[in-house]
Amino acid sequence: MDMPAILRYAKNKHVGVWVWLQWKQLDWQMEEALSTYEQWGIKGIKVDFMDRSDQEMVDYYHKLLGAAAKHHIMVDLHGAYPPNGLVRTYPNFMTQEGVMGAEYNKWSGRITATHNVTLPFTRMILGPIDYTPGGFRHATPADFPNLRRNTLPYVQTTRGQALAMYVVFDSPLQMLADSPITYAKTQGPWPKPKSEWEDGLDFIQAVPTTWDETHILQGDIGEYIVSARRKGSDWYVGAMTNESGRTLSIPLSFLNKGKYRVNIWQDGKTISTLNKTESVQTNADSLTLTLAPSGGAAVVLKKQ
């Protein structure tokens, strides 16, 4: 790879660059590599394939995070065991895998809607979750076994659930995990006008990755969840359900007084489409969200 060219292009686009690394190769030359990355202006590293939790590996996590902090580099621990408190020690620690995430759609049928609405009550309690959301190629659970593949994979949940993950799943470093061609209605290079974006990409473009306040409004383990998160004066809501569709009534009592412009993206006529609506609400009102089987919804409430 021509790293100088990549870095120049990214700088021109006002984009920071992360690099994806194999942990053992980094360990062989950690100081030299991190020093070089700092000189290049690399913002973070995604370190992968550790796949162990023995004493040597636990020590490696601390060694890596300490060295990266010295060089002002953020870290994503991928191929990792579940979190055990590192987020309280290292400010450059962003997120950690330690979860059966979206990549498992390539070779298994285990990433079900039930699995997705179990994670917030189990794994996510431990710390940020590098699930890698953003699957925009959808199949029903009945059709999924015939469509499962490693290249351009499908997910067995709806577009509404894909959006909701960006609110429900907690990770200061989020991903847009699918191939670029998946996010456009037409072929050809990016950038594309918004009229050619796939349904829901406008929400993902706008949703924050860090939050000032969080409320779990409703939910039941393995059944459904509704999360509300505040960024500044604006609120974002993500709702996800298991294989059972459901209609939810969400009181807006968590809002401050005043009027809010409310935009809703919820499941449409097919698993790959969305119904988008706009209204004005107050904290005395309630939202009604209709979630398809294996579906979800995302909401933005902006203070007027």
Point out the residues that are catalytic.
Answer: 48, 103
Express the helix, strand and coil content of the chain in percent, nearest 5 each: 30, 25, 45
Closest C-alpha among 136, 134, 127 to residue 154: 136
79: region left, alpha or beta (phi > 0 left; psi from -120 to 50 alpha): left
Phi, psi of 68 (to 5 degrees): -65, -40
3-state class of 23 per DSSP? helix
Lookup: tokens for 46 = 């995604």
Rounded to the nearest 5 degrees, what angle is found at the Cα of 232, between the Cα atoms of 197 and 282? 85
Which of 134, 292, 120, 304 is closest to 217 using CA atoms?
120
Instruction: Name the residue type at position 262.
Output: V
Name the nearest CA neighbour of 42 among 12, 19, 13: 19
Q: Give the rounded distance of the alpha carbon of 85 from its chain centre.
A: 20
Q: Which of 223, 262, 270 is nearest to 246 (CA)?
A: 223
Tokens of 273: 């489409």
With CA atoms as reference, report the closest residue to 19 among 47, 49, 38, 39: 47
